Structure 1
Amino acid sequence: MTEAVAVALISGLCVAVPSVITTMFSNNKANTLMNYRIDELTKKVEKHNNVVERMALQERETKAIWKRIDEIKEELEKESE
């Protein structure tokens, strides 16, 4: 029974050690790639948010311009009467 346990432990270690080493190295590459992709996506999101903020500002300015145009129209109508 003791020999069987020793053989099982040695066999298990022969499988587990290379698996652990492979996992450690592959995860390092995967983590590097994942971090790169996250950084790139973050840049894209920042650009998108910048566009959204600029569009909101443009919409407010356009609304103010149309309001001013309406005021000028009213003034012109009052003057022509």
Structure 2
Amino acid sequence: MSENIVIALIAFAGTLIGSYFAQRRTTALVVYRLEQLENKVDKHNSVIERTYKLEQDICIIDEKIKVANHRIDDLEDGK
């Protein structure tokens, strides 16, 4: 074989190996970033669920206050 062909094959092999490892590194980084994003989304969804629960609790407390005020008004009118 010609010396030029051997050099070309070595360069080709080096390029393939370099591309392979670069792709693996990129894939690992994308997977890591995706996991971090999933964690952030889970935290956000947790906040939304807690906010919804608090809104329900506020409605219940408002209703209890209305009932208490109505009972106080009835007691004051009964005097």
Please give the range of the TM-score, normalised by the shorter of the 2 chains.
0.7 to 0.9
Identity of aligned residues (%): 27
Given candidates 33, 36, 39, the residue that maps to 2:32 is 36
Is 1:52 the counterpart of 2:53? The answer is no
Post-superposition Cα deviations, 1:20-59, rounded to whole Å, max 9, x if no partner, equal: 3332211100000110111111111111111110111011
Name stretches of at least 5 consecutive residues in structure 1 with no aligned partner.
1-9
- The structural deviation recorded for 1:13 is 6.2
Please give the alpha-carbon distance, in whole angstroms, between the structure 2 residues aligned to 1:70 and 1:16.
81
**Structure 1 residue runs of 4+, over 2 Å off?**
12-23
TM-score, structure 2 length as denominator? Answer: 0.76
Q: Cα RMSD (Å) of the superposition?
A: 2.1
For residues 1-81 of structure 1, the aligned pairs below 5 Å read: 17-81=13-77
Q: Please give the TM-score of this superposition, normalised by the length of structure 1.
A: 0.74
Unaligned runs of 5+ in 2: none
1:62 match: secondary structure:
helix
Matched residue count: 73
User: SS of the counterpart of 1:58?
Assistant: helix
DSSP-derived class of the 2:27 partner: helix
